[in-house]
Amino acid sequence: MSDQTKYANQIAIVKEECPNADEEEIGKEFARYEGDFLIPPEDALRSVIRKFQVSTGVEVSADKSPPVREEKKVDRFSELDADDRNVAIEVAVVSYTPRTQMVRGEEKQIAFGWVEDNPHEASSERVRWDYKDWGNKGESMIPGSVVRLEGASVNEWNGKRSLNVNRTTRVTVVKEGSGSAPPTSNEPLNIARASEVEGFVNVVGRVMSAKSDVIIRKDGSGEIPIVRGRISDSSGSIGFLSWKDFEHEVGSLVKIVGASVRKFLETPEIQINDGTVIEAYHDTSFPEVSELAKSEKVSIADLRNGMRDVSITLQVESWVQRSFESQNGESKTVRSGDVMDPSGRCRLTAWCEFDPSPGETIMIEGGRVQFWQGSPDLVIDDMNQVKVLSESPWDAIDPQNHWVEVDLTSLTQGGSRRGISTSGSIVMIRPDSGMIERCPECRRVIRDGSCSEHGSKIGEEDLRLRFVLDDGISNASLILGRETSEAFLGMGMDDVKSEISNVGREVFVSNLKNRILARKMGVHGRCLVDGQGAMLMAERVEILVPGPKEEAEEVMKRWEVEI
């Protein structure tokens, strides 16, 4: 069937509007929309007509952007005219009264009240106007505060002027009002939620452990008695540190009111101070210690810097011991190795005579976590903290091929991990991708012939690619070191270097962009997470070949959609 027959109905409509247009051309255009853009003819109608209006000389209105009004900055209301639209002024908010009003038949939340100009002077020097807030600025326009309004407009009605705060008006708080502080809830949070906040919380939980301890003052002026322990509920478990007596036994259920959650390294901890109230709590349906203890066991994916009291089961991958001389001349031995579980892999360091064989399954209780090169390192100090299990709770893991697939959001919201694979779309190729020079002492990148730490240096050449990986919900920096880059580009560093010197870095990056931007990439490697976001150090990357049919079937199944 020719385009002309297939699209006859649509062509007829276009001909009515653009009599000079050629039917064959119109047919081709519909075929193009359907074949190349996947837009069926009925949806493409307006686009096609628009095109032929332009090409056959029917004039189409051009630029439609409205004239931009210049901002008028004033200090006093008296400087304003009745038709001023884009006004910037600082005012004191006197009152704010929200009200629901019908606007164009639609219920809208608006507010009205008084504002005064000249806000930094005594009120006898101020002029008071009415205002209306059309833009839900209640969070900023708190009575008693001073705000800067940008993009407000003047309204005049029956000779009386007032100010309109519009949706597009920018409200910046210059001085906060003392009026209403945000209300704090007295409701207890569950422990999982309390672990995510910093500040005062109330929690209900069962005491899982409590041990007296001391903190030695650094200045040598003595010791402070404290109690350390953990409390749990069905959502999770959190350590606590009490600076006062803690008289509740292991197993008792308590409500802690007014404790503060602080982070020790990356691990949240509840701090119990003089102002904190701890009371016995009664709830017969609250899980018992034995039940909560089961969920206390963690996996490698859960490890965070600063954790204590860690219970975990692991498979040993490798083990070495090393002797060194400590600062006071004593000879010391440290043993360490790589360990795995189904959620990933990490290091284990033992400051005791623990010598497992590769492949053995071990269980740790009371371990602690510190970080080593940005990845978690489990530490045991005492043989009592570890035992070798005769049976593994999981099928033996093959260390050669142990990659745990984790989606980008779980990665960015979790802790640093090794041995992971993930995927997302490339949304940026950083312009400094390509050849770099590193400081021979600290491996930092040298800029303009100088290291930020070691000053002017002759750098060592290295190859590095930097992307941003994004799955629509989360994103992470993605870094390919020399070997990974060489494998991905399919060329050695010297070839990359000569290409960049031939075409220039910009063209090199631009070519890379055309090849991979918006394409999906699979990544194997490790992930470092800190306060600045997540960084993936790739060992291997690949462009994933799109399979829209299979992808569509999977998504339709997930959301139970049928065509």
By CB under 8 A, the residues from 457 to 486 that bind other proteins are: 468, 470-475
How far is it, in rounded angstroms, from Cα 302 to Cα 147? Answer: 44
Least distance from other proteins to the Cβ atom of residue 439, Å: 25
Secondary structure class of 78 (helix, strand, coil): helix
- 84: contact with other proteins by CB under 8 A: no
- 180: contact with other proteins by CB under 8 A: no
Q: Which of 58, 226, 257, 487 binds other proteins (CB under 8 A)?
A: 58
- 43: contact with other proteins by CB under 8 A: yes
The residue among 322 and 549 lying less far from other proteins, judged by its C-beta, is 549
Least distance from other proteins to the Cβ atom of residue 243, Å: 29
Beta carbons within 10 angstroms of residue 466's beta carbon = 18
Q: Which of 73, 120, 167, 454 binds other proteins (CB under 8 A)?
A: 167
Answer for the pair 179, 143: CB distance below 8 angstroms, yes or no: yes
Least distance from other proteins to the Cβ atom of residue 441, Å: 28
Q: Which of 2, 20, 101, 109 binds other proteins (CB under 8 A)?
A: 109
Answer for the pair 255, 279: CB distance below 8 angstroms, yes or no: yes
| Helices marked H in 267-349 | 289-296
Cα→Cα distances 505→428, 433, 478, 484, 512, Å? 15, 8, 19, 19, 11
The residue among 46 and 322 lying less far from other proteins, judged by its C-beta, is 46
Q: Which of 430, 438, 482, 520 binds other proteins (CB under 8 A)?
A: 520
The residue among 374 and 459 lying less far from other proteins, judged by its C-beta, is 374
Phi, psi of 189 (to 5 degrees): -95, 150
Going residue by residue from 530 to 559, which x/- string records binding to other proteins, judged by CB under 8 A?
Answer: -xxx-----------xxxxx-xxx-xx-xx
The residue among 33 and 354 lying less far from other proteins, judged by its C-beta, is 33
Answer for the pair 33, 44: CB distance below 8 angstroms, yes or no: yes
Q: Which of 97, 123, 172, 178 binds other proteins (CB under 8 A)?
A: 172
Q: Which of 88, 173, 257, 436 binds other proteins (CB under 8 A)?
A: 173
Q: Which of 70, 83, 107, 330 binds other proteins (CB under 8 A)?
A: 107
> Within positions 430 to 459, which residues make up the interface with other proteins, using CB under 8 A?
none
| Helices marked H in 110-212 | 191-194
Compute how many residues bind other proteins; rule: CB under 8 A.
Answer: 82
Q: Which of 425, 433, 484, 485 binds other proteins (CB under 8 A)?
A: 425
Which are the contacts of 310, defined by CB distance < 8 A and separation ≥ 6?
Answer: 298, 303, 364, 366, 367, 368, 369, 378
The residue among 40 and 393 lying less far from other proteins, judged by its C-beta, is 40
Beta carbons within 10 angstroms of residue 70's beta carbon = 8
* Burial bucket for residue 478 (CB in 10 Å: 0-12, 13-18, 19+): buried
Q: Which of 5, 57, 64, 294 binds other proteins (CB under 8 A)?
A: 64
Q: Which of 244, 308, 505, 513 binds other proteins (CB under 8 A)?
A: 513
Answer for the pair 395, 342: CB distance below 8 angstroms, yes or no: no
Q: Which residue, 333, 380, 336, is CA-closest to 356?
A: 336
Cα→Cα distances 168→7, 151, 163, 335, 400, Å? 45, 7, 14, 63, 57
Least distance from other proteins to the Cβ atom of residue 112, Å: 17
Least distance from other proteins to the Cβ atom of residue 80, Å: 19
- 518: contact with other proteins by CB under 8 A: yes
> Within positions 141 to 160, which residues make up the interface with other proteins, using CB under 8 A?
none
How far is it, in rounded angstroms, from Cα 203 to Cα 240? Answer: 12
Answer for the pair 29, 37: CB distance below 8 angstroms, yes or no: no
Least distance from other proteins to the Cβ atom of residue 268, Å: 17
CA angle 441-333-215, nearest 5°? 90
Which region, judged by CB under 8 A, interacts with other proteins, from 64-72, 115-123, 222-230, 365-373? Answer: 64-72
The residue among 13 and 493 lying less far from other proteins, judged by its C-beta, is 13
Answer for the pair 100, 134: CB distance below 8 angstroms, yes or no: no
> Within positions 4 to 33, which residues make up the interface with other proteins, using CB under 8 A?
9-10, 13, 16-18, 32-33
> Within positions 119 to 138, which residues make up the interface with other proteins, using CB under 8 A?
134, 136
Least distance from other proteins to the Cβ atom of residue 264, Å: 20
Which region, judged by CB under 8 A, interacts with other proteins, from 34-42, 266-274, 369-377, 438-446? Answer: 34-42
Q: Which of 46, 160, 282, 294 binds other proteins (CB under 8 A)?
A: 46
* Burial bucket for residue 39 (CB in 10 Å: 0-12, 13-18, 19+): middle
The residue among 107 and 330 lying less far from other proteins, judged by its C-beta, is 107
- 395: contact with other proteins by CB under 8 A: no
The residue among 55 and 299 lying less far from other proteins, judged by its C-beta, is 55
Residue 366 amino acid letter? G
Q: Which of 41, 344, 434, 525 binds other proteins (CB under 8 A)?
A: 41
The residue among 106 and 391 lying less far from other proteins, judged by its C-beta, is 106
* Burial bucket for residue 527 (CB in 10 Å: 0-12, 13-18, 19+): buried
Which are the contacts of 381, defined by CB distance < 8 A and separation ≥ 6?
Answer: 351, 352, 368
- 199: contact with other proteins by CB under 8 A: no
DSSP state of 509: H
How far is it, in rounded angstroms, from Cα 461 to Cα 438? Answer: 6
The residue among 83 and 274 lying less far from other proteins, judged by its C-beta, is 83
- 100: contact with other proteins by CB under 8 A: no
Q: Which of 166, 234, 370, 421 binds other proteins (CB under 8 A)?
A: 166
- The kind and range of the H/E element at 268 are strand 267-272
- 427: contact with other proteins by CB under 8 A: yes
Sole residue written with tokens 């049976």: 391
How far is it, in rounded angstroms, from Cα 433 to Cα 517? Answer: 14
Q: Which of 1, 5, 83, 106 binds other proteins (CB under 8 A)?
A: 106
- 168: contact with other proteins by CB under 8 A: yes
Structure-block tokens of residue 197: 């906040």
